[in-house]
Amino acid sequence: MSPTQFASRTFDYLVVGGGTAGLVVAARLSENPGLTVGVLEAGPAVLDEAEISVPGRYGQSLGGKLDWCFETEPQPGLSGRELPWPRGRVLGGTSALNFMTWNRASRQDYDAWQELGNEGWGWEEFLPFFKRSETFHAPAEQLQQEHKLFYDPDTLGTEGPIHVGYAAEYSASHRLWHDTLHSLGVETNKTHVGGSNVGVWTNLGSVDPATVTRSSSATAYYLPNASRPNLFVLTDALVTEVVLSKADENSEWTATGVRFRHGDDEFLASATKEIIISAGTVQSPQILELSGIGGAEILSQAGVTAKVNNPNVGENLQDHIMAAMIFEVDPSLPTPDDLQHDTLAAAAAQKEYQESKSGPLTILPNSMAYLPFSATLPPSVLANLATQAADLTSFSLQNRTIRHARLSPSSNLGQIEYIFDLGNWSPSFRPPADGKKYATCLQILQYPFSTGRIHIQPGPDNVPATAADKPRIDPRYYAGAAGALDLEAMTHCAAFADRIVKTKPLADIVRGRVYPPPEQGLEEWIVQSTITDWHPVGTCAMGGRLGVDGGVVDERLRVYGVSGLRVVDASVMPLQISAHLQATVYAIAEKGAQMILEDAVVRG
């Protein structure tokens, strides 16, 4: 379909963003043949790229042509470093570029959203939408016993579009992971997607076992429905603003369409019912601000006429922060690095994958553990963090109460995530060419106190901001009193990471820690090595009982102050969760689509 043909149609619903959430919404709405649904995606349709589809090639698309290649502002808390912030610029969005991790947070995380006043978002109400998105494939009994592949079938979906399951092959270190954590008093969690992720477990992945390829929103929600006569998807289409109109000065603004660019030309597409923005935590607030919805001062500075004043747009940014500790390991172990440096090994792996869909190119990082601070921090340190958290004034009272309660010694939440895998995962460690092999222990802070912001800004010479300009991303890692809590927690959790890898049986394959070197202090290393774990949320948050004073959308994801406009993606999450985001974003989109259809019935 050409952009002219797309713009000539009048749609019932227009979805801005054909990514993880947007394609879910479009697929569910277009199940009704009486509705016409259009999707505008800024990236191309790439459905047969090996860097995307082959599981073991995870990460190879980052920083390339299918990545928006965003960067943060210089971060004082990270010694002035600017961090890459990968996001998918392709049909399927970030679901086409991520590492295929499939997990859920604990029930308390979703209940916290409801506690803020967002009715219907607690664990019990939200679980059906997790299940609706997925088809779980049970592992063979022999694999289940060998690799500790436990699950509760009652908590998993069996008829959803996304294929999820346990891998058939594992890294050579995985067989040591559970027993190592057991030696530290951490038990295996046999129902890790059933309402608590605390413990050690083997991770699920979004991989279709029939083809052993990535299951993304493009392959699962779009391709099976691409022939629907009422579903229209236009790629390489950059939305520049949502068109707002009002009947008179006293009426509310209404979203009636969007402007978009395709090549050098600009077009206008119209919708009679709703516009749904699913552009993600970075670009959903960007599009709102470019449309005149946001803080008046921000909009004025960027040269945009203000229509709806809401200073919460782009605020409340929360991200998981990560550090990668590197260890030298037994040189006989096969690692993913071998495929990067050994052409014969790479060719053999490619041949095995093509012929039997097996071998190194099917292996994902699956050794995971989520632990409460009470298991990783000295009691005195945890008590000190709780005291400091109680004094923070940068959050609403209810928000602060929830965050403070998580620091109770009795709190059984996954405050810190550990992942161990063979290979060097650190962008900071450059190993010498000496033939040695390495492994990585990742530590990822799940409930950061640091909060940041994402806003549009004028171009050079104060030219008004446009959709082609990258927004200003300022996560404020380790900044201020809140950030100091994160830095202290990460420093102590690094000591526990070191302890994990020095514990048998994992220690039997480890030759010693090489990064950080023994002479470097852990706090200094944390500052110099922390990066994003690619899980930003919150910039168009649900306001709960505070309403427009506390967020950007209501509990039905409708933008405050504008009719016919919603946001459906990770940006609506009011509080960060202890989990990789993918499965939760699919569930948000499933729930969002149902609410859109429900509200259409109410309106008649």
182 in catalytic set: no
Q: What is the pLDDT of residue 78?
A: 98
Please identify which residue in the block is written with the tokens 């974003």: 585
| Distance (Å, whole) CA 419 – CA 444 | 9
Name the architecture of domain 3-47+219-313+538-603.
3-Layer(bba) Sandwich (3.50)
Mean pLDDT throughout 111-117?
97
Mean pLDDT throughout 123-144?
97
Least confident of 270-284, 372-386, 390-404, 551-565: 390-404
Give the range with max mean pLDDT: 44-48, 340-344, 549-553. Answer: 549-553
Mean pLDDT throughout 296-317?
97
Among residues 404, 455, 492, 535, which one is catalytic?
A: 535
| Percent of all residues in the chain with a pLDDT value above 70, rounded to a whole number | 100
CB-based contacts of 308, cutoff 8 Å, min separation 6: 244, 253, 292, 293, 294, 559, 560, 561, 562
- Which amino acid belongs to residue 593? A
Among residues 192, 320, 492, 580, which one is catalytic?
A: 580
- 266: confidence class by pLDDT, cuts 50, 70, 90: very high
| Distance (Å, whole) CA 502 – CA 93 | 39
- 434: confidence class by pLDDT, cuts 50, 70, 90: confident
Bigger pLDDT: 495 or 247? 495
| Distance (Å, whole) CA 481 – CA 403 | 14
211-252, pLDDT tens digit by residue?
999 999 999 999 999 999 999 999 999 999 999 999 888 889
Given a cut of 80, whether residue 135 has pLDDT beyond it is yes
Whole-number average pLDDT of the chain? 96
| Distance (Å, whole) CA 593 – CA 471 | 28
Note the Cα 201 to chain centre separation in Å: 20
Given a cut of 80, whether residue 514 has pLDDT beyond it is yes
Note the Cα 209 to chain centre separation in Å: 23
Q: What is the pLDDT of residue 176?
A: 98
145-156, pLDDT tens digit by residue?
999 999 999 999
Do 256 and 271 form a contact (C-beta atoms < 8 A)? yes
Mean pLDDT throughout 30-46?
97
Q: Binding site for FAD, residues?
A: 90, 94, 239, 534-535
The pairing of beta strand 308-309 with beta strand 293-294: parallel
Q: What is the pLDDT of residue 395?
A: 77
Do 288 and 46 form a contact (C-beta atoms < 8 A)? no
Q: What is the pLDDT of residue 392?
A: 85
DSSP state letter for 275: E
Residues of the chain with CATH 3.50.50.60: 3-47+219-313+538-603
Do 242 and 275 form a contact (C-beta atoms < 8 A)? yes
> Among 464, 589, 582, which Cα is nearest to 533's?
582
Residues of the chain with CATH 3.30.560.10: 101-213+318-329+360-455+468-532
Least confident of 152-161, 264-273, 369-378, 400-409: 400-409
Structure tokens at 2: 């050409």
- 175: confidence class by pLDDT, cuts 50, 70, 90: very high
Given a cut of 80, whether residue 393 has pLDDT beyond it is no
Given a cut of 80, whether residue 396 has pLDDT beyond it is no
Mean pLDDT throughout 57-85?
96
CB-based contacts of 367, cutoff 8 Å, min separation 6: 171, 173, 174, 177, 202, 203, 419, 420, 421
Q: Any idea how long the chain is?
A: 604
| Distance (Å, whole) CA 420 – CA 367 | 6
Mean pLDDT throughout 478-499?
97
Mean pLDDT throughout 435-440?
95
Structure tokens at 595: 């609410």
CB-based contacts of 5, cutoff 8 Å, min separation 6: none
| Distance (Å, whole) CA 158 – CA 423 | 34
Name the architecture of domain 101-213+318-329+360-455+468-532.
2-Layer Sandwich (3.30)
Mean pLDDT throughout 331-360?
95
Given a cut of 70, whether residue 460 has pLDDT beyond it is yes
Q: What is the pLDDT of residue 603?
A: 75
360 SS3 class: helix
404 in catalytic set: no
Paired strand residues for 258: 242, 269
In three state form, how does the secondary structure of 154-189 look?
A: HHCCECCCEEEECCCCCCCCHHHHHHHHHHCCCCEC
Q: What is the pLDDT of residue 387?
A: 92
Structure tokens at 429: 């460690």
Given a cut of 70, whether residue 455 has pLDDT beyond it is yes
Mean pLDDT throughout 168-183?
97
Rounded to 5 degrees, what angle do the CA atoms 252, 256, 258 make? 125
CB under 8 Å, gap of 24 or more: what pairs does 193-196 form? 193/103, 193/104, 193/130, 193/151, 193/152, 193/155, 193/156, 193/583, 194/152, 194/154, 194/155, 195/106, 195/107, 195/123, 195/155, 196/106, 196/107, 196/412
The pairing of beta strand 231-234 with beta strand 213-214: unpaired
Given a cut of 80, whether residue 314 has pLDDT beyond it is yes
Q: What is the pLDDT of residue 604?
A: 65
Q: Binding site, residues?
A: 90, 94, 239, 534-535
Do 514 and 525 form a contact (C-beta atoms < 8 A)? no
Least confident of 76-80, 207-211, 406-410: 406-410
